[in-house]
Amino acid sequence: MTSQEIRSKFLNFFEGKKHLIVPSAPMVLKNDPTLMFVNSGMAPFKEFFLGNSEPKSNRIADTQKCLRVSGKHNDLEEVGYDTYHHTLFEMLGNWSFGDYFKKEAIAWAWELLTEVYGVDKDILYVTVFEGSDDDNLKMDQEAYDIWKQYISEDRILKGNKKDNFWEMGDQGPCGPCSEIHVDIRSAEEKSKVDGKSLVNMDHPQVVEIWNLVFMQYNRKANGTLEMLPNKHIDTGMGFERLCMVLQGVQSNYDTDVFTPIIREIETITNKDYGKEEKLDVAIRVISDHVRAVAFSIADSQLPSNTGAGYVIRRILRRAVRYGFTFLDKKEPFIYRLVDVLSKKMGTAFPEIKAQKQLIENVIKEEESSFLRTLEQGLILLNGIVEEVKGDTVSGEKAFELYDTYGFPKDLTALILSEKNLKLDEKGFEEQLQIQKKRSRQASETSTEDWTILVDDAEQEFIGYDALEANVKITRYRKVTSKKDGDMYQLVFNLTPFYAEGGGQVGDKGYLQDNHGDTVYIVNTKKENNVIIHFAKNLPKNLNSTLKAVVDQKQRFRTECNHSATHLLHQALREVLGTHVEQKGSAVHSKYLRFDFSHFSKLTVEELRDVENFVNARIDGKLPLEEQRNVPMETAMANGAMALFGEKYGDTVRTIRFGQSIELCGGTHVKNTGDIWHFKIVSEGAVAAGIRRIEAITNDAVKDFYFENNRAYFEMKDLLNNAQEPVKALQNLQEENVILKKQIEQLLKDKAKNLKGDLKNEITELNGVNFIAKKVDLDASGIKDLCFELGGEVDNLFALFGADSEGKALLSCYISKNLVAEKGLNAGQIVRELGKHIQGGGGGQPFFATAGGKNPAGIEEALSAAKNYL
């Protein structure tokens, strides 16, 4: 049975049980501050479990892309070393929101596995929750009794809270669960060790394949449990593990989910999978990681230095490192696997096929960049090795290499072992824990339970039509963090405040009571489909009706910028071509940022054309045409543009200005004329095939031109009010070039004259011609002097110091025969002497330089030079 057939059978089975089949949500979460990525099948449905929204159906089934590489659920370091953990994996799931419960969930799971898929009942074990004294919970007798109808009692095992009580997080919906485990060992192995003793013991052939969660409790902030008003079912089955079982293999990597990728790696690297363990680990790592990175990029999460982007970059760099170290790949190659991945998974996940070219470009560029970093790291590591005393490199030095340059610890250890050196692993780990603690403390947040004032689950957003309203606070909670201190999160029965989303920042404003007391709203965000208002303090009377007022000036400026992004998108597709697609945006009150797919830097003419296109639409005073609650199919048929990585419902909102029509939930100007003017301030690369434009509108453009005008008149004043300031500036530049050449020639002449005097000062020291002297030359002049002297004097050791504009310079030259015969190294010498001038440096063994901030230490450095001879 192929993986495609396995996936289809699951979805068809639950469709037959009256479940609505929905597509996978994007992996990158946008409205949940507790998660970076979807890490389980239930994450996209949290709002339904929390009662914040009504699902389209009380029964849903899907296959969900999940990523487990950060936070509580982090499988990254296991990936590759075992055969059943992954970064990206598919979670097959069926869900009941207040509809069926344990009886149906268990019956259907058993029917699907044993009758539809034909799994042998004798290789299955199930677990039930044994209870917990901490939570005053008894054993899940109900689940136990239901399972007895399908499987012998000796195969029903009791599991502890860690394994058989599922929790969304520290707070929120939770409940006992039943896991279904499979034992695919050989008959001989089974005769030696009973399978039940290996359940939940990390055995590679005795693994969990399906978890049935019975969501019936709510965990409060103080740790206590309360019953949920409705009971829910949340199940998740590991697709890759299911394929392993049904395809009769002993490893997820031997299924047709991975074998095409592994075969391609074998072809590219000329290495064989299954012959040597360290090669197998590397191949498994790469075949897993390319999936995670490719799907993240398809969902519009590019590798970067922060947040979710950093996680993706880290995954890709781990793959590059394994290829570099174990498969001897010193050039980019992982991007070449995307083609196979697209063919294999493009039917189930069309985004991977549609974004194939972009994914390849981004991965290739990231590979090239990190390979350069690895090369640089090797040079730095060699420098550390040269300075090591004894046989151990300090953990602090290795951690600095890891933290600053991204050079991996295990690669450091491997290289050191080849040089018969050891790494202080304990010291490295201490530095890592210090950094983790610092990072954890900076982001630590404690969240209290919601205090319910009004039982009103239906919250209405009226901010498209009004900027103020009389509201009631329905619930609030206190949140404390090191960064922001104490904050209060407020939920209203209705609100004019726009919550951050779709690239647009959240509204600010204030609340006011009848007595004029004011509470300022400093931000507005959405969490699990609830609009949350952030304030530093609470209103005095929480139960009174309050006047909620949005900051009108900030909202208007933000609307100008948001509407301008739509016009910019249209302009880019018109000027550059329809291959341009939006890849991200940030809409603030002061500026806008727009990321888009394009293969090259925009020319001056293209930028001008884009600007002119947008401003023509602004001058055209195009009215806003807004449609709400439009069926998705109708919107797409009318030409609306949908963005990759966004989650859309059955009905959508469309925004049209002339020929520009997009799906959008943000706020906009009523007429493009309100934008006043559009000005691009920068254009550059974000990643391979991704460009970024930053621009301004309205008041910011006025400020921009005012500042440019002021700078122009200041420059003109400096040019003695020249009638043609541009020409006057060109003349100054030409004159400056001529003067620079004259100075360079004078310094060269000075160095030649100085050379004769210095030759007379060279003394012999232990068979070496030695000179150490302070000279009045710049770095270039000193270098010329060193090489000219070296060409005329044999066995030369020269050290020159200079004070250049308050900074200290040291340059060391050593004849190449001395480097070979006496083991002298100019790079190492200037690094040590650089301490006298409070600086450092390096270079080649025969010539190196150092710079520092303490010119007073030059004489000490010159005096210390004799010690090397």
Query: Distance (Å, rounded) from C-alpha 790 to C-alpha 544?
Result: 88
The angle, 0 to 180 degrees and rounded to 10, between the axes of the packed helices 338-345 and 277-298 is 70
What is the average pLDDT score of the chain? 91
As beta bridge partners, residue 691 has: 596, 685
Inter-residue contact 74 to 41 (CB < 8 Å)? no
pLDDT at 28 (0 to 100): 82
Distance of CA 858 to the CA centre of its chain: 46
Secondary structure of residue 41 in the 3-state scheme? coil
Find the mean pLDDT for residues 403-419: 79
Q: Is 133 helix (H, G, I), strand (E, B) or coil?
A: coil
Candidate from 28-37, 155-164, 774-783 with smallest mean pLDDT: 28-37
Residue 551 confidence class, pLDDT cut points 50, 70, 90? very high
28 Cα distance to chain centroid: 9
Q: Are 545 and 471 in contact (CB under 8 A)?
A: yes
561: left (phi over 0), alpha (psi -120 to 50) or beta: alpha
CB 240 within 8 A of CB 86: yes
pLDDT at res. 453: 93
What is d(CA 658, CA 652) in angstroms, rounded to the nearest whole number? 19
**Gap between the Cα atoms of 758 and 793, Å rounded:** 11
Q: In the predicted model, what is the mean pLDDT of residues 759-775?
A: 92
Give which of 167, 186, 190 is closest to 177, Cα–Cα: 167
CB atoms under 10 Å from CB of 619, counted, come to 13
Per-residue model confidence (pLDDT) at position 582: 92
Contact 207, 182 (CB under 8 A): yes
Tell me the two tokens of residue 681: 């301030």
Share of the chain above pLDDT 90, in %: 68
List, as own/partner pairs, every contact residues 401-409 make where C-beta atoms lie below 8 angstroms and the sequence separation is at least 24, other chains included: 401/377, 402/428, 403/431, 403/435, 405/373, 405/376, 405/377, 405/380, 406/317, 406/370, 406/373, 406/377, 407/373, 407/374, 407/377, 407/380, 407/381, 408/317, 408/318, 408/321
Tell me the C-alpha distance between 855 and 864, whole Å: 15
| DSSP category for residue 258 | T
pLDDT for residue 270: 96
- The edge-to-edge listing of strands for the beta sheet with 796-804 is 763-765, 768-774, 796-804, 807-814, 847-852, 839-843
The contacts of residue 106 (CB under 8 Å, 6+ apart) are: 143, 146, 147, 150, 178, 212
* Residue 630, pLDDT above cutoff 60: yes
Instruction: Provide the pLDDT confidence category of residue 31 given band limits of 50, 70 and 90.
Output: low
Phi, psi of 388 (to 5 degrees): -70, 140
Model confidence over 9-26: pLDDT tens digits?
999 999 999 999 999 999
In three-state secondary structure terms, 617 is helix
Cβ contacts of residue 690 below 8 Å, gap of 6+? 302, 358, 362, 583, 595, 596, 597, 598
Percent residues over pLDDT 70 in the chain: 98
The answer, yes or no, to whether residue 418 has pLDDT greater than 50, is yes
Q: What is the pLDDT of residues 285-302, one digit of tens each?
A: 999 999 999 999 999 888
Residue 73 has pLDDT above 70, yes or no: no
Query: What are the structure tokens assigned to 538, written together?
Result: 């609470």
Positive or negative, the CA dihedral 432, 437, 438, 440 is positive
Pairwise CA distance, residues 67 & 39, whole Å: 5
pLDDT digits (tens, 9 = 90+) for 81-140: 888 889 999 999 999 999 999 999 999 999 999 999 999 999 999 999 999 999 999 999
Structure tokens of 30?
């946008």
Q: Detail the DSSP E strand segments found in 406-472.
A: 422-423, 445-447, 451-452, 460-461, 468-471
Measure Cα distances from 44 to 265, 528, 636, 637, 802 in Å: 33, 9, 23, 27, 64
| Residue-level pLDDT at 147 | 98
Paired strand residues for 181? 125, 208
Q: Is the pLDDT of residue 586 over 80?
A: yes
Taking CA atoms, 639 is separated from 43, 563, 568, 596, 618, in Å, by 31, 18, 17, 19, 21
User: Could you write out the DSSP letters of every residue in 721-748?
Assistant: S-SSHHHHHHHHHHHHHHHHHHHHHHHH
Q: Is 19 helix (H, G, I), strand (E, B) or coil?
A: coil
Angle at CA of residue 582, ends 578 and 587, nearest 5°: 140
How far apart are alpha carbons 772 and 770 in whole angstroms? 7
Question: Which residues, other chains included, contact 866 with Cβ-Cβ below 8 Å and sequence gap of 6+?
Answer: 765, 770, 772
Q: What is the pLDDT of residue 238?
A: 95
Q: Where are the beta strands (DSSP E) in 602-669?
A: 625-631, 651-657, 660-663
> What is d(CA 780, CA 762) in angstroms, rounded to the nearest whole number?
21
**β-pairing verdict for 546-550 and 468-471:** antiparallel
Tell me which amino acid residue 298 is. A
pLDDT at 88: 94
- Return the exposure string of 812-829: e unless at least 16 CB atoms fall within 10 Å of the residue's CB, then b: bbbbeebbeebebbbbbb
Give phi and psi for 553, each to the nearest 5: -65, -45
Specify the pairing of strand 509-512 against strand 518-527.
antiparallel
pLDDT score at 840: 85
Question: Which of 261-270, 324-333, 549-558, 715-724 is the least confident region?
Answer: 715-724
DSSP count for the chain of H helices, then E strands: 25, 37
The DSSP bridge partners found for residue 495 are: 461
Cα-flanking dihedrals φ and ψ of residue 152, to 5°?
Answer: -65, 150
Q: Is the pLDDT of residue 335 over 60?
A: yes
Assign 446 a pLDDT band (cuts: 50, 70, 90): confident
Q: How confident is the model at residue 459 (pLDDT cuts 50, 70, 90)?
A: confident
Write the CA distances from 59 to 64, 388, 529, 738, integer angstroms: 16, 64, 20, 80
Angle at which helix 277-298 crosses helix 307-326, to 10 degrees, equals 150
Give the model's pLDDT for residue 747: 74
| pTM for the full predicted model | 0.76
Nearest to residue 776, comparing CAs of 798, 805, 797? 805
Which stretch of DSSP H or E encloses residue 435? helix 425-443
| Residue 739 banded pLDDT, cuts 50, 70, 90 | very high
Q: Is the pLDDT of residue 559 over 60?
A: yes
**What is the model's pLDDT at position 806?**
84
Rounded mean pLDDT of 814-833? 91
Please compute the mean of the pLDDT values over residues 669-686 and round it to a whole number. Answer: 96
Strand 509-512 relative to strand 473-481, pairing: unpaired
| pLDDT at 655 exceeding the cut of 50 | yes
Question: Quick one: CA dihedral 619, 621, 624, 625, positive or negative?
Answer: negative
Q: What is the pLDDT of residue 440?
A: 66
| Res 71: pLDDT | 46
Pairing of strands 20-21, 59-67: parallel
Q: Are 325 and 272 in contact (CB under 8 A)?
A: no
Q: Which residue has the tokens 């998974």?
A: 345
